[in-house]
Amino acid sequence: MTNNMKYDLEERTAKFGEAIIDFAKKIPVNEITAPIIKQLVSAGTSVGANYCEADCAETKMDFEHKLGICKKESKETKYWLRITVKAVPALKDEARIHWKESNELNLIFSSIIKKSRAKK
């Protein structure tokens, strides 16, 4: 993987986290949505943070572990987006856009992990 590709994924995950924050700000806060917002923002911003850690991993095992967390958090973000739509159906169209990006990131991390493990 070239440095440009690493940078692009780092930027992409950062923009994803920012988009999740912007989306979460549109969710009306009440007793049902407050915990959903917290979980959504936590999972959505964790993707990029863990990718940064993976990029600076000290060992291959650490790299794969951090990417595994990225994969897990991107999948969790998809879940919270689904739950958000149940709580606030008016946000369905925008949530779908973020769900697709989260799914793409999940597939990217799965592919990187698979390729990394094949090199053992």
Structure-token pair, residue 94: 């925008």
First to last CA, the chain: 16
Please give the single-letter amino acid code of residue 120: K
pLDDT for the residue 118:
87
Q: Domains plus CATH for the chain?
A: 3-118 (1.20.1440.60)
Write the pLDDT tens digit of every residue in 23-79. Answer: 999 999 999 999 999 999 999 999 999 999 998 999 999 999 999 999 999 999 999
State the chain's mean pLDDT as an integer: 93
pTM: 0.90
pLDDT for the residue 1:
44
